[in-house]
Amino acid sequence: MAAKVLMTWDILGERNNEYFEFVIGEFIPGVQRLGLQPAEAWATIYGSYPQIQVGLLASDATQARQILSSNDWGILQERLFGYVKNFSYRIVMARSGFQFYTPS
């Protein structure tokens, strides 16, 4: 059964422009090369929730865990960490519609 990797983070304010260049130019193509498919991206405009939530599809939870434990993911994640804070993720069963994840 398909799985979704739900990730949340906040953008480092002083790196906002570089963050968007990185996400479009490197992060999205990088996760696609690893086998995850971007499904959704949401930005919080108001409230005390993570600023960004991203949903990435995997064929199943095993594939998602394998990708997230790979060296290539580690490199991509470290690059992301240069632009964000409060990063968190969870692997869930994919379902249609918006799936919200609030890190604890």
Question: Does residue 103 sit within a domain?
Answer: no
pLDDT at 102: 64
pLDDT at 48: 86
pLDDT at 89: 96
Task: Tell me which residue range forms the domain holding 68.
Answer: 3-93
In angstroms, what CA-CA distances link 61 with 13, 15, 36, 46, 103?
Answer: 33, 32, 11, 32, 19
Question: Using an 8 Å Cβ cutoff, are 3 and 60 in contact?
Answer: yes
Question: Does residue 102 sit within a domain?
Answer: no
CATH of the domain at 61: 3.30.70.100
pLDDT at 100: 67
Question: Does residue 101 sit within a domain?
Answer: no
Position 103 pLDDT exceeds 80: no
Six token digits for residue 8: 């949340």
Question: Does residue 69 sit within a domain?
Answer: yes
Question: Does residue 104 sit within a domain?
Answer: no
pLDDT digits (tens, 9 = 90+) for 58-98: 999 999 999 999 999 999 999 999 999 999 999 999 987 76
Question: Does residue 87 sit within a domain?
Answer: yes
Q: Domain count for the chain, please give it.
A: 1
Give CA–CA dist 4/43, Å, rounded: 18
Question: Does residue 98 sit within a domain?
Answer: no
Q: Give the number of C-alpha atoms closer than 13 A to the C-alpha of residue 89, restricted to the C-beta side.
A: 14
